[in-house]
Chain A
Amino acid sequence: DTGVSQNPRHKITKRGQNVTFRCDPISEHNRLYWYRQTLGQGPEFLTYFQNEAQLEKSRLLSDRFSAERPKGSFSTLEIQRTEQGDSAMYLCASSPRLAGGRMSNEQFFGPGTRLTVL
């Protein structure tokens, strides 16, 4: 399977603990996005990378959240001092660069990591 992969698929943690999620985008996709989806809501944008550069962060991304994409390939999303309100599905998506440097209009989503904070 050459799609976007995310690990772990499920994470249960106690409030106050730190967690880290990993996303492996489709090979050679230069753009990578993180979204959060809570129950009954659509996905909400968190942050976005173009290669290794983090170009935008949503106001939803508090200072307890940090994302990296050190080599422009996989990305990690860390949540420090988790709170019950952090319980959600965390989705990663990637998008390729087209010929001529144009950006694809399509984002390919991974299966998500479901976080439960007790």
Chain B
Amino acid sequence: AQSVAQPEDQVNVAEGNPLTVKCTYSVSGNPYLFWYVQYPNRGLQFLLKYITGDNLVKGSYGFEAEFNKSQTSFHLKKPSALVSDSALYFCAVRDMGYRGSTLGRLYFGRGTQLTVWP
């Protein structure tokens, strides 16, 4: 079964500092990994994904994520945090379904609340 763990409920960083939001995963096959962000009273917004290829994936709003197969991790990073980055971040893995078909359901972590202090 697929699963995702986000070990930190909260991450606090000062504006201008680099940020990392951690995610580890467990899958039975090749992982399809995603990061979503959720602002208050808003739906989930897609940030980036890893399907195959380069281990460093670049996404929206200056975010990037590093896929590490040996550590089964997919940490979200940003070189310089902004106050406006404060939000709830979710890591997710996609279910590849049974052979010949993909169901596409996402398995989400519990989320990490990122707070960026001015």
| A→B interface (CB under 8 Å) | 4, 31, 33, 35, 40-45, 48, 55-56, 91, 93, 95, 103, 105-112
Residues of A within 8 A of B100 (CB): none
- Chain B: minimal CB distance from A47 (Å): 9
A42 in complex: contacting residue of B42, B49, B51, B111, CB < 8 Å: B111
| CB-defined A-B contacts under 8 Å, sample of 29 | A4-B43, A33-B105, A33-B106, A35-B106, A40-B111, A41-B110, A41-B111, A42-B90, A42-B108, A42-B109, A42-B111, A43-B90, A43-B108, A48-B103, A55-B103, A91-B43, A91-B44, A95-B104, A105-B32, A105-B51, A105-B94, A106-B34, A106-B46, A107-B46, A107-B104, A107-B106, A110-B43, A111-B41, A111-B43
Min CB gap A52→B, angstroms: 17
Tell me if B104 and A40 are in contact (CB < 8 A): no
Chain A residues with CB under 8 Å of B104's CB are 31, 33, 48, 95, 103, 107
Chain A residues closer than 8 Å to B51, beta-carbon distance: 105
Bound: A112/B43 CA distance, A:
6
CA distance A44 to B51 in the complex (A): 21
Q: Which residue of A lies closest to B6 (CB)?
A: A42
Please give, as numbers and ranges, the residues of chain B lying within 8 Å of A107 by CB-CB distance: 46, 104, 106
Alpha-carbon gap, A44 to B108, bound state (A): 7
